[in-house]
């Protein structure tokens, strides 16, 4: 039957009246499809687009810079950016917009790099601004920065391999022979398939000094010379030795950054002039506006973005009597003015992505640079040997120049000159060709003596170059001298300051306005926080159509909340993060407020108090788990806990347990079981499957869990058990909640 249906589908596809195409549908395993179609794409993104290589560049960067180099923009004047973009398309087929965005990021005007490689003129936007867009490529101009001389030094001396471009019409370098570890100097971010890279930038001089120390001693203390990351937007690095050491050793970790500011006492305002590299001025402004609207920031009367040609400036007007130090500490805590850079030093080494620490990166760069220097020396050595070979042939002839002249004059045909010289002096064809091209004016004593001196000089240089190739110490010495030259020419002071963590006072948690509230949580995931006064004045609670109350409880405005979801996760928040509401409002939609995953729903909320109680969870299969609330208490500020409860059976209900009480479990076959929570031992493991409480017949389930006092059970003794598991008892009509309404009739009297 299936085969017949498949044949019908093929006939349908082959019918041009149906599809307009002649094609054949073939079944294919999904694994084969992934291997044939998806894997090549994934590898292309990883190897050829998103992850930087040991020279510190992605292919798009390299293609752009090499095009500009071939255009003569290293020493010449600027040209229109549109011209550069057009020329780069010979190497980069991904479109002019992508190429221009690459140029913008490498430019001096955009300020994304400590050592920009494009000397730009015009509006290139700013890395610290989300809304400040760059001008079109027809309006801006660019050339290569002077430091690019260190990127292309000796590129024509076989220092790197050249490969075909995408249509094999020209060659391009596979890497750029950078004379300094640019991979650590230039910040780089890339998202590939299944992996990413996020490399922070370090000060050029510090990187070069560290590499020099590493060349002398591979076991040197890197933290002694490479003090901390340095970012082009300035700000301050919060120096935490252990966290920084983790980044240096593993290539993973985070670095905390904070803004720089100054206080104008006369005007009673604060000027923020440097912000973390990871944020933008607009993000800071938006967050402050949100805090002001929610009433969490009352010390500010106004905040303006006064950024101009001199640079970034966010101005904060303070209310009278506000302490600027305390306000900035609060802003650092609540806004992106203090942020973290997540490091992921993922670099392509010989086509393979590897996450490496700083020492390993220096090791790989050193090995690659040594190879580049050897290739350059070998290319120079080959040229000198070729030159020496020519001069030695010339030397043989110059010893008897008259004989050479006689051979040339006595040769009847021009094509016989070279063979006759080869026979007459015992030299090879290359030497004879060189001799035959000598000008008549050079046949003099001075020329002969100079050429003989050149032979001695070349022999000494060749011996020296051969010694370099044999001696690794000399190769390292060359690299060191080049690094010293880079420091001398291009070193600049740090832009990002360093402040030690212990010097920063601990931010004081401001006490929230603590008042009594009643929390209403609906089945649809809406939360209302209503004050006692508003509750007294309000009428009936309003819900969306089809929604209703799930639970309600009294709490303090400063209380912490645990929010459980249908994805077995628990979110931690505070009631103070929710605005006060009225009974007539729908409330705040919790999944949106907590930025839950798409399709994730909140199913229960709990006030854990001091985390000394427990949480009773009942599952559909009759098992119940009593979990210690302390398992949800975290020392850090984690906002989401995964694996918050067991996923082995659907969850029926939650009940907080601060003191033991009796609970009632209802089953799908009309039974009820009353048991004490004291029968269940609290467990520290959050995702425990629990223990059997209700004994169920086949295809029967538990449908509800409630506190006994919240039920309509009148004769609790009928359903109460002293041990578990138990089957419970069938509900009597008087213990059911569904009571039939009696129709009361009158006798007609009015």
Query: How is residue 392 written in tokens?
Result: 């030695």
Active site residue 139: yes
- Residue 614 tokens, joined: 């427990």
Q: Judge contact between 124 and 107, C-beta under 8 A.
A: yes
Count how many Cα atoms sit within 13 Å of the Cα of residue 237 in the half-sphere of its side chain: 23
Q: How far is CA 585 from the centre of its chain?
A: 40
CB neighbour class for 669 (10 Å; exposed up to 12, middle 13-18, buried from 19): middle
**Number of C-alpha atoms within 13 angstroms, CB side, residue 640?**
12
For 513-570, give the DSSP string.
---EEEEEEETTSEEEEEEHHHHHH--SPP--TT--EEEEEEEETT-EEEEEETTSEE
Q: How many CB atoms lie within 10 A of CB 591?
A: 18
Q: How many Å apart are CA 505 and CA 712, to the nearest integer?
A: 56
Give the separation between CA 228 and CA 206, rounded to whole angstroms.
9
In contact, 462 and 384? CB cutoff 8 Å:
yes
CA distance 344 to 356: 8
- Structural element, H or E, at residue 656: strand 651-657
Q: Which helix (H) or strand (E) holds 372?
A: helix 358-398
Angle at 336 between CA 330 and CA 341, to 5 degrees: 125
- Out of 139, 166, 500, 515, the active site residue is 139
Burial classification of residue 545, based on how many CB atoms lie within 10 Å of its CB (0-12 exposed, 13-18 middle, 19 or more buried):
exposed
Residue with tokens 């010495």: 477
Burial degree of 5 (CB within 10 A; 0-12, 13-18, 19+):
exposed
Supply the Cα-derived Rg of the chain in whole angstroms: 39
Distance CA 82, CA 136 (A): 8
Which residues belong to the active site? 139
């Amino acid at each position: 039957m299936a085969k017949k249906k498949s044949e019908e589908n093929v006939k349908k596809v082959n019918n041009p009246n149906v599809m307009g195409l002649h094609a054949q549908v073939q079944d294919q395993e999904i694994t084969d499809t992934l291997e044939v179609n998806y894997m090549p794409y994934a590898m292309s993104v990883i190897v050829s687009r998103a992850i930087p290589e040991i020279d510190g560049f992605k292919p798009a960067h390299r293609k752009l810079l090499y095009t500009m180099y071939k255009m003569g923009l290293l020493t010449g004047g600027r040209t229109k950016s549109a011209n550069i973009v057009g020329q780069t398309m010979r190497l980069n087929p991904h479109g002019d917009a992508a190429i221009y965005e690459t140029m913008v990021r490498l430019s001096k005007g955009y300020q994304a790099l400590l050592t920009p490689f494009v000397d730009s003129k015009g509006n290139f936007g700013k890395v610290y601004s989300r809304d400040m867009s760059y001008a079109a490529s027809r309006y801006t101009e660019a050339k290569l920065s002077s430091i690019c001389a260190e990127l292309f030094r000796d590129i024509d001396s076989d220092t790197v391999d050249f490969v075909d471009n995408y249509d094999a019409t020209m060659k391009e370098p596979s890497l750029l022979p950078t004379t300094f570890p640019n991979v650590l100097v230039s910040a780089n971010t890339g998202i590939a398939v299944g992996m990413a890279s996020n490399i922070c930038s370090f000060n050029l001089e510090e990187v070069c000094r560290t590499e020099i120390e590493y060349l002398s001693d591979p076991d040197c203390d890197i933290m002694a010379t490479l003090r901390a990351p340095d970012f082009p937007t300035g700000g301050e690095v919060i120096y935490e030795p252990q966290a920084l050491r983790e980044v240096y050793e593993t290539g993973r970790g985070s670095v905390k950054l904070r803004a720089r500011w100054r206080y104008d006492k006369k005007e009673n305002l604060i000027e923020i002039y440097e912000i973390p590299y990871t944020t933008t001025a607009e993000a800071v402004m938006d967050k402050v506006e949100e805090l002001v609207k929610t009433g969490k920031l009352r010390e500010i009367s106004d905040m303006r973005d006064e950024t101009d040609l001199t640079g970034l400036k966010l101005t904060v007007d303070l209310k009278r009597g506000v302490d600027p130090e305390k306000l900035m500490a609060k802003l650092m805590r609540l806004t992106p003015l203090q942020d973290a850079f997540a490091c992921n030093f993922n670099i392509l080494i010989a086509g393979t992505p590897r996450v490496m620490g700083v020492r390993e990166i220096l090791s790989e760069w050193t090995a690659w640079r040594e190879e580049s220097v050897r290739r350059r020396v070998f290319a120079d050595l080959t040229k000198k040997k070729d030159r020496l070979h020519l001069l030695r042939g010339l030397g043989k002839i110059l010893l008897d120049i008259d004989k050479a002249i006689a051979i040339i004059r006595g040769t009847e045909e021009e094509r016989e000159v070279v063979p006759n010289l080869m026979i007459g002096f015992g030299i090879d064809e290359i030497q004879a060709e060189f001799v035959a091209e000598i000008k008549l004016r050079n046949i003099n004593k001075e020329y002969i003596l100079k050429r003989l001196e050149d032979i001695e000089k070349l022999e000494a240089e060749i011996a020296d170059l051969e010694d370099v190739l044999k001696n690794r110490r000399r190769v390292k010495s060359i690299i060191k001298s080049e690094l010293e030259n880079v420091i001398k020419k291009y070193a600049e002071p740090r832009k990002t300051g360093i402040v030690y963590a212990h010097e920063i006072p601990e931010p004081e948690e401001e006490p929230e306005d603590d008042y009594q509230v009643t929390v209403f949580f609906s089945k649809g995931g809406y939360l209302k926080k209503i004050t006692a006064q508003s509750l007294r004045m309000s009428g009936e609670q309003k819900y969306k159509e089809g929604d209703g109350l799930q639970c309600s409880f009294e709490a303090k405005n400063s209380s912490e909340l645990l929010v459980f979801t249908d994805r077995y996760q628990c979110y931690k928040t505070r009631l103070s993060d929710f605005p006060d509401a009225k009974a007539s409002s729908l409330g705040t939609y919790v999944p949106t407020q907590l930025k839950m995953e798409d399709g994730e729903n909140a199913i229960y909320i709990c006030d854990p108090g001091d985390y000394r109680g427990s949480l009773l969870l009942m599952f559909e299969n009759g098992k119940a788990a009593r979990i210690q609330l302390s398992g949800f208490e975290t020392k850090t500020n984690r906002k989401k806990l995964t694996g918050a409860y067991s996923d082995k059976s659907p969850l029926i209900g939650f009940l907080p347990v601060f003191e033991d009480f009796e609970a009632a479990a209802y089953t799908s076959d009309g039974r009820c079981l009353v048991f004490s929570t004291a029968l269940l031992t609290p467990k520290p493991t959050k995702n425990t499957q629990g223990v059997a409480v209700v004994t169920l017949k086949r295809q029967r389930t538990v449908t509800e869990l409630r506190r006994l006092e919240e039920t309509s059970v009148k004769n609790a003794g009928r359903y109460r058990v002293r041990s578990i598991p138990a089957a419970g008892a069938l509900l009597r009509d008087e213990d059911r909640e569904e009571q039939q309404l009696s129709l009361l009739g009158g006798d007609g009297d009015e």
